Structure 1
Amino acid sequence: MEKNGLFDSDEEEEKIEYKPEVEAPDQNLGETVEVHPASRETQLLTESDVSPVSKNDLGDDASSEDDIEETQDLSENKFQFDVPYPNVQEEDLTWSVSQPVKAGHISYTVTGEDKDGPFQGSRRYKDFYSLRQALVNRWPGVYVPPIPPKQSVGNKKDKFVSHRMHLLDQFMKKISKIPHLIKSDEFQMFSKPAGDISATFNSLGNISPEDLRKRLENELEVSTELEEALVNQSREQVNDFQAFLKKIIPTLKTIKEEAKKMVSSREVMNKRTSALVEAMSQYESNGLIKFADDDISRMVIDNPEDPEMKAKAEGIGKFYSNTFKDFYFWIRSTLGDIEAALDAVNGRDKVVQNKVKLLNKQKSEKSELDTINSGKKTWKSLFQSTSSKQNRAVFLTSDIEKLENDAKELDVIIKMINCYIAENIIPTFKERQIKDYYEFLNYIARREINNCAATKFFWNDFTKNENIPADSK
């Protein structure tokens, strides 16, 4: 079988991974810090963006998604963002979402390349949402990358727009690595629209069993000749995986909300060193200077002849990395991936539900046909002519046969989807989650090491001051 492009472990798939950017090393440390992909949203924040989170913020997941930062709307219709690491937005320029513009609603410039070549145009969030919904509904069992959730309150604030743009940009980059989705008719409606995109998607009907089977066979290369033992094993694997995803999602949501509350706490903690030094500075200015008979050379922090120490003291809090913020964005990204995987599995259930509906409809029509053929009187038949009854019988006979064929088709499709998920989605998704966690753990460990190193070098400078007795060092 051909693997789902996002989850393949071959060389082509590896291109989807974000290669960590390199942060400029601190001059005092001489150590380069890698920037982990999951923390890229963190790069768009500054310390002043963080506000305390109350219990009331935890009720509506969508509305509280970006409560970590609060900024004012810009008066201009174009948004400007201070991104500390410009390379974040320069990766894979073939596919990008950029340049948000406010004109009644927020629109983004989207660039990419579909089966007919390059494209560029203005898209709204609802266009991305409609695209993903169409792909999820018409490609059951296939992983479709996540997009940020809907949010009605505060969705025009510049920091929120910045984060949404970042997540939509990642959606485009991820989906570009899944060939069967990029070549699909649904994506073509997004990349080369003929009219209103959302309206076009809303007018789409359900994909027919015949077309769905062709997609599985031709695009995903899933065989229709499947051994019963393999089918049963695959179904059990998918059921177990689905149950696990449903169980872990609430846990991850709780962890995410707890992480959000820790962000502001860590910001306060990071600023305590500056507060401590400021307190000592006040003591030097009001106490030590008098004990030293106004000899400014005896000052350590507040010495006007040595402003470097005061400058370091004022800047140390801003240097510290907020690893809780890194963790918050990482767990949010992980949660989105898991929910997207569950969407893929739930697509199989929708096919099963459609099969049940067809069988129920077939049963109902058979009962009606038997009544007509037996000549039994019903309230409805009293108002029908003989020719109307005959025409109805002809229609029912034809439709019952079609329903039976469609139900058989869906039965085969369900088996194909189970095998596809079991062989392609589940094992590679598990491997990816493990790999991403280890990469993030390494990243966050390095960030904390840098925090400790910054503290060490900062306080070590105090011990080097000429006023500090050598025997006390």
Structure 2
Amino acid sequence: MNQSDEVEITLQVCDPKIIAGLNKFIVYTIKGMDKNGQFDIQRRFSDFKTIRSFLLTKWPGCYIPPVPPRKAFGNLEQQFIDERRLMLEDFLKKIATLKYLWYSEEFQVFLKTPGEIEKALLSVPKITNEEIINKYQDAFSDLSGREINREIIQKINDFKAYIQKISPMVQNFKQIAKNIAEAKSSFQASLIHFITVFIPEYENNVLLEYVEQKERLIFANLIQNEDAQGLINQYCDLLKEPKFQELYQEVRKEGKQLKAFLETFAEREKYESQKANAESRQKELQLELQEVLAGKTTIRTLFSKGKKEDHITKLQQQIADVGKEIESYQFICDILTVLVGYVEIDKFKMEKQFQYYNMIKNIISYEINLSKIAEEFWSKVLKSENMQQQQ
């Protein structure tokens, strides 16, 4: 590996700004540094979708991380803008782990060429089969010699069937996770209001008539106490954290990731289909050549003004050309089969494991911290002087 390839890529998506006009839209600033130097450029959401589509075309069979979903209404609300900014940053960070994508010509154009991305990408030439073969041999040289067998084909087919099966389930899980996150957030917001507003007001406006002395109030006095105030603030700050939103966001992202992986299969199948079409053309040409050699008249020879020998030579050349085309398609299909079967599926599974366990660990840590501070707070209330006097 070239030493420059080991340079750490740093990046951030920041400073979202609303651009006024006939149709308002958001631009995000992308800042950072890679082995080619610093970059600082503004891109809108549609630009991220454009570069992802371009990567799919230029790197067929490779898993390309998804960008956030489009939203028709409410896309200028601050909460949505903040969530999208984080998702777009996550998209770029995933690309940054895949150096062959990050340092590809098209992605560097996206990252460092000002102006409209679609116009800029027009300068990147369309990729040929030969170029795909050459760059894949270079990018994935460690896959050389991997065997294509029945087991690896079955692995690919089984994983595709698995994704198709669970995708509707994940959509259902997404709605359940959203309901849980919203219910949890609503409850914790209500609990903050209960502690800091409702109970103190009740004590000052209702309980005071019963106890007759302000000194005998509990929460109203507690929130005025400097020692207790820090604990209350700490408790309320934790309650304000929408931690279960992580659960919803992860399940939401998973649906997009599953769809993105199906695109990986689709690209491989596209080349399989093109190979099959080329083989069909070759058979037609071979059949026509046999008929011409046998002296039979075909539709083409009927309208041909050339000599029979010239027509035979032309057919032989066409058959040879299509044969080379089939060879290139076969080579690409083999590369994509090895790439998907030996790399992309396993990498995808490992990433999903990491994301899930990391999310659960964060939620558990949060709940433990919340429980500890809650116990400390309620214990302080229970042990307050006025509560002790009532026992």
What is residue 404 of structure 1 aligned with on the other side? 323
What is residue 96 of structure 2 aligned with on the other side? 176
User: What is the aligned counterpart of 1:164 among 79, 84, 91?
Assistant: 84
Residues matched between the structures, number = 379
What is residue 248 of structure 1 aligned with on the other side? 166
What is residue 216 of structure 2 aligned with on the other side? 298
CA contact (8 A) 1:274 1:315 kept: no
CA contact (8 A) 2:235 2:370 kept: no
What is residue 257 of structure 1 aligned with on the other side? 175
What is residue 152 of structure 2 aligned with on the other side? 234
| C-alpha displacement of 1:233 | 2.3
Matches within 5 A, 1:68-217: 94-103=10-19, 104=21, 105-112=25-32, 116-193=36-113, 196-199=116-119, 201=121, 207-217=127-137
CA gap of 1:312–1:388, structure 2 versus 1, over 3 A, is farther
User: What is the aligned counterpart of 1:413 among 332, 335, 341?
Assistant: 332
User: What is the aligned counterpart of 1:458 among 370, 377, 385?
Assistant: 377
Question: What is the Cα-based RMSD across aligned positions, in Å?
Answer: 3.7
CA contact (8 A) 2:105 2:124 kept: no
Instruction: Kindly provide the CA deviation profile for residues 383-416 of structure 1, in whole angstroms up to 9, marking residues without a partner as x.
Output: x451499987765543332222221222232223
| C-alpha displacement of 1:305 | 9.9
Q: Distance in 1 between matches of 2:329 and 2:136?
A: 12
What is residue 354 of structure 1 aligned with on the other side? 274
CA contact (8 A) 2:246 2:359 kept: no
Instruction: Kindly provide the CA deviation profile for residues 129-179 of structure 1, in whole angstroms up to 9, marking residues without a partner as x.
Output: 222112222212323222212334333333333322222222222212222
User: What is the aligned counterpart of 2:297 among 376, 398, 416?
Assistant: 376
Q: Distance in 2 between matches of 1:427 and 1:454?
A: 41
Secondary structure, in 3 states, of the residue corresponding to 2:68?
Answer: coil
CA gap of 1:118–1:368, structure 2 versus 1, over 3 A, is farther
CA contact (8 A) 1:301 1:310 kept: no
| C-alpha displacement of 1:260 | 1.4
| C-alpha displacement of 1:439 | 2.2
CA contact (8 A) 1:140 1:347 kept: yes
Instruction: Kindly provide the CA deviation profile for residues 425-472 of structure 1, in whole angstroms up to 9, marking residues without a partner as x.
Output: 233332332233222222111111122223222222222222223683
CA contact (8 A) 1:107 1:123 kept: yes
Which blocks of at least 5 consecutive residues in structure 2 are unaligned?
none
Identity %: 26
CA gap of 1:108–1:408, structure 2 versus 1, over 3 A, is same
Instruction: Kindly provide the CA deviation profile for residues 46-76 of structure 1, in whole angstroms up to 9, marking residues without a partner as x.
Output: xxxxxxxxxxxxxxxxxxxxxxxxxxxxxxx
| C-alpha displacement of 1:259 | 1.3
CA contact (8 A) 1:101 1:107 kept: yes
| C-alpha displacement of 1:335 | 3.7
Higher helix share: 2
CA gap of 1:377–1:235, structure 2 versus 1, over 3 A, is closer
Greater Cα offset, 441-450 or 408-417:
408-417
Matches within 5 A, 1:331-342: 331-342=251-262
What is residue 368 of structure 2 aligned with on the other side? 449
Secondary structure, in 3 states, of the residue corresponding to 2:141?
Answer: coil
Which blocks of at least 5 consecutive residues in structure 1 are unaligned?
3-11, 16-91
Instruction: Kindly provide the CA deviation profile for residues 345-374 of structure 1, in whole angstroms up to 9, marking residues without a partner as x.
Output: 333222212212222333445556667775
Are 1:289 and 2:214 matched, yes or no?
no
State TM-score, norm by structure 2.
Answer: 0.80
CA gap of 1:387–1:301, structure 2 versus 1, over 3 A, is same
Q: Distance in 2 between matches of 1:437 and 1:362?
A: 49
Instruction: Kindly provide the CA deviation profile for residues 220-260 of structure 1, in whole angstroms up to 9, marking residues without a partner as x.
Output: 11566554xx4332222222222222222222222112211
Aligned amino acid, residue 277 of structure 2: K
Aligned amino acid, residue 297 of structure 2: K
Q: Distance in 2 between matches of 1:217 and 1:116?
A: 23
| C-alpha displacement of 1:375 | 5.6
CA gap of 1:323–1:171, structure 2 versus 1, over 3 A, is closer
Secondary structure, in 3 states, of the residue corresponding to 2:66?
Answer: coil
Aligned amino acid, residue 428 of structure 1: K
Q: Distance in 1 between matches of 2:115 and 2:186?
A: 50
Aligned amino acid, residue 421 of structure 1: V
Greater Cα offset, 347-356 or 144-153:
144-153
Greater Cα offset, 283-292 or 262-271:
283-292
CA gap of 1:264–1:400, structure 2 versus 1, over 3 A, is same
Greater Cα offset, 355-364 or 231-240:
355-364
Q: Distance in 1 between matches of 2:66 and 2:81?
A: 17
Are 1:323 and 2:243 matched, yes or no?
yes
State TM-score, norm by structure 1.
Answer: 0.68
Secondary structure, in 3 states, of the residue corresponding to 2:384?
Answer: coil
Secondary structure, in 3 states, of the residue corresponding to 2:69?
Answer: coil
Aligned amino acid, residue 464 of structure 1: K
Aligned amino acid, residue 53 of structure 2: Q
| Greater length-normalized contact order (CA 8 Å, ≥ 6 residues apart) | 1
User: What is the aligned counterpart of 1:437 among 352, 356, 360?
Assistant: 356
What is residue 268 of structure 1 aligned with on the other side? 186
Aligned amino acid, residue 386 of structure 2: N
Instruction: Kindly provide the CA deviation profile for residues 60-94 of structure 1, in whole angstroms up to 9, marking residues without a partner as x.
Output: xxxxxxxxxxxxxxxxxxxxxxxxxxxxxxxx6x3
